[in-house]
Structure 1
Amino acid sequence: MTRKTSQYNRMVCLVLVVFCILLTLPPIVSSAVLYRSYVVKYDRGWDILCDSYIVQKNDWVYKIFRQKGEISVDDFQEFLSIFRRLNPHIRDIDRIRPFQNIFIPLKKLEPGTLPGQSTGIVTIPFVSIAKVSEFVESYSKTYTVKKGDSVSRLVAARFGHLGTRSYREGLNLFRALNPDVFDLDFIYTGQNLILPDPAMRNEPWYPSLFDKHGNIKGDAAPVKPEKKEHVAAVEAPLKQAPPVPMAQAAALLDAKLLNKGTYFFPGASGGDFELDLSQYPVIEMEDGRHVVFTTGDQKLGADAEVLKSRWKDVAIVSLQDESSIAQILEAIFRSENWQHKQDTELSLSNYGLDITVRAQWISAKPPDYEGKTRHICITMVDGNNQQTPALIARYLDGLGIIIKDVLKENPASAKNMDAASQVFARPDVAALSPTNRKRYVKDLIEALGYSFSENISVTFPYAGMQVEAVSNLVTTGNGNDFLIDFGELYGDAAREIEKTGLGMVHIDRQDSLDDITAGILTALGVTYAVDPLYTAAARPAEFNTILKIPGYLVNRPGEKDLLLSSIPLHNRILRFLNARDVKVVLTGIMQ
């Protein structure tokens, strides 16, 4: 078990590194490819590449964890949290049973990183036969030729008798590993050879190296091998009738709708009280609260007291016939026993980024096993163009805020994950690394598209004579050039230079980077806004997400606006800004 596990672990690590490299390479023509299938699950704003694993006898969770993936290595506590959420059927991670199917998180992925990622299963080519020697070399050993050795004897001793299929396979692997051996009948004593390890025949990918004759696949177009490993099935959605508004309301609240069968309660007179769920449907919340619905002229009367005595937190809500999903939600949130019914706004700060989320209805979920409370924010919108962009929805999901924008004409659509089908693209961002004020000013001026020249000779009249000084010149190209003085001009020099009509910005040692930035932008005469606000969705701010980014937004006619951010920004925020035609410069912190 130990040896097999070690080999499998090496293969998984190799897969995670190699598939990212292969994605950047041009397709290889006429080469065989080895494939491995992985499951993609969604968790709090991220797509998670998972290994679907069947628990074996004598397995235990931490033993499996040690063998798997990037997340486990980088942050084991985060790995455990993701594992718990992806495997809710495993209530105690210290007790797993043979033949249980578990998802082991390997790597976080941005949407569109891998082809087919949005389908839930990705088939990754992790080695090309054109590079077979590099791959198989990890399953090989160096051997020094001795007197009496021959290639046929060395291969036969490891792969079987001359003339068998396994011998031909071993011989072809030998050729791939030793391209400098031109004549297999001629090797010499002391020569170093690389011999394939026959243990690789036990690996699941081994058969896909060869064609039916035992030759390495290299002359034919690649054919995917039959997938033998167990993966979670992704079934095509069945055609079903549209869900009723009450079911949609329950789904939006991550609650259960009980609308079939009968609920039995001890009645006030000693008999059983029966609640017909088809007549009086119930929404059961995750925290144990219940909402009982009556419609039209239905009344529970004295039976309402029975319900209140049995269920600690119960609200009885009266609806009109054919109520819409918005009317149902509004009735729930206005009900007498509904907690947090007045909350329509959440505020938080993440690394200096101030975020305000406003929604028509906000519901707090019960704290999870880590004690963290997540919030569901529901808003009705007129069309797809008014939905919160997926980048922002995923970003907020990672902060514990679940955005559910519901189309008024198609309430069943309440997702903001459209980025899952888009190809991942790196953001357009530049970062300054200010080691001192002069370096910061130079980098900032150039990032703004202007020229900064150090130690320029400046001549000016003083007391009837021409005096020469040294300063720093900003060239704008529009005639509004100016000097920047870092305290290098003494006495009356600065005032006399300004009398000549040449502008000047004075930077003192105590000036902050914000002070310096504001002074330079003012001297340049550009239009800018301080700490700009961005609404996430194309809809009124009344029910929207507002981002306040510390820094300066510079308007550049004919070009993209330039955001000088004084805080680090998440990759998804950067890509959101790029989609708004905003280029970002991270101004950094003085080192």
Structure 2
Amino acid sequence: MGKRNLSVWRFVFLLFFIPSCPSLVFSYQKEDTAHLFFQKTAVLKENVDTYFVKNDDWIFNIIRKKFGGSEKEILKILEVVKRLNPEIENPDRVYPGQKLLLPRKDVYMTTGLTQEKDKIIKKTEALNDSSNAEDKGMSVCEKKETLLKYTVKKGDCVSYIIQDQLGVSSADIYRMLHDVKTLNPNIEDLNIIYPGQKLLLPGYRGASAPGHATVLTVAKQNRNLPVSGGKAKKGAISVPIIAKDLINKQVIEKKQVVSGKEFVKEIVKKDKIINHEKQILAMRYILSRINGSVITNGNYYIPLSSSGQITINCSAIPVIELDNGVTIFVDFSRRMPESLKRLIQSTWEKYSVLTIEENEAMPSIIKRIINTSKDYSIKKCGTYLKVGNHPRIDIFIDWIVSKKVSATEKPYSFGIRLVANRSSLLPGSVRRYSDEMGFEVVELVKGKEIAGNSDRYGDLNVPVLNSDTNIILVEFLLSTLGYTPLQHSEVDIYSMEKNGFKASVTADLLLKTNDKRIIINSKKISQEFVDVLKKSGTEMVFISDSESKKKVIEKILHAVNIPFLCDDFKFFFSRQDGKNGGTISLPAIRINDNNKLLYFVDRKVDNGICGLLHDKWGINLVKY
């Protein structure tokens, strides 16, 4: 009974207080005026189930087990659970034994989507019924079209269909998308539609659709509404204000004749639709690297002391939450009134509003966001940064984001590259290598769009020469070059027929070429024997196990007369505006054997980089 009396007194308060309060005067003639509303939730007992929290439970997982469905659907159910359990201030904190009220699965699954559609249909019918149909010689029944049916044509996209069929301004399109998604649950992704596909559209048109004129509202605080907030500033303003949605509407009136009746149809100019989805995706991707998040679904509630609260529509004004407690409201195209910005920022110490201009580049946006964080910094780089050592790769970085750490903490940073087009993206193998080396590179196409995975060349395993001993190394080297050396062969130095006595040497490896024989030995013989063998066309090559592998390879290449070059070779990639995006540095011994480039390297090289070198430059690596 007490609650009922309270509701009556609230009604009386509204009836007498609002007209007398100049700060609460509403201009109903203006479609872009936000509304003050009160909300009360009543739930029948038979429509809810009781659940007791168990060890290791958390609300999101409880909902997933009970209802299943996509993450998006689970988030919708979470809002219902919050309203059913207003005493839980933080849904992330529940305790074993705690009692929760959950909507019954059969009731929610059968009524949830239907209720959403019914809301849209009622909006349409209310709008059509209230219009002056008689002035046009039409009955209300003739004019009423609850839902519009549209068949997708080649070249269509959903935003264009909404703009063209419903006469919606560019700024209103994204608020209308929610209703279109609700009416077409069979379409998982509205970005992917096909010619001939059927779409249901709301029957109301343009910004005159009820509830579509605002991006935010000021609401009386209610225990049934979840609250997000921080520490309020002392003496903060706590009175509700009228919020106007400042949307620039460009509408041309054009006369058309349909069935002999002339009427005026609003046609929005076919200007390029301002699409913030790519910017939001870029912000979400970059901020996730510093433990930040971007909220674009549902409502965000800001309490105003005990007098009321502000409700932000996150699909129109995304909300950024940083791990240091800072909350940022992203205002694209100046939708939020200045008075509301002042109210939010004066009331809450860690709340701020970020106004983004239409053509503002993403690095500028990210810089402004990160500058509000005490844990990270961003600075312009404009030079090459070294990534890895074997091989060393230098990548041109435009901006670098770093975590502020103490002397005992491990440093963390990542880079941002700006590219004009996708042809200038880093090879996928280079990006992956950089990630593995602990330095992630984020690439922005035209300063706004996160680049997806660029073409990545296939991995390639590098053959390895067995080098247990230097003689074994020589044997595998000669086989790689196409030779077949003989092991432990006896070679005569003096013979009985020619010299009357015999002397010979056992060669570790004996190689016969077109013009000579080569004895490769790990033990030296007398110089007299060496000279005798040389006169007979046999060359001696001594290989010591104490020699470096590089020196051994050079000796053998000299012996078989194969030209080679030892150098730090450079390979350039991702050229843009006359400047290379990066360089691979590869210390190696290079030979050109039968027009086949071989690079002998002494360190293991990443398989992805090997594949890139092979596929892009025709290079074959061999590790020794």
Tell me which of the two structures has the higher relative contact order, counting C-alpha pairs closer than 8 angstroms and 6 or more residues apart.
1
**TM norm structure 2:** 0.42
**TM norm structure 1:** 0.44
Larger radius of gyration: 2
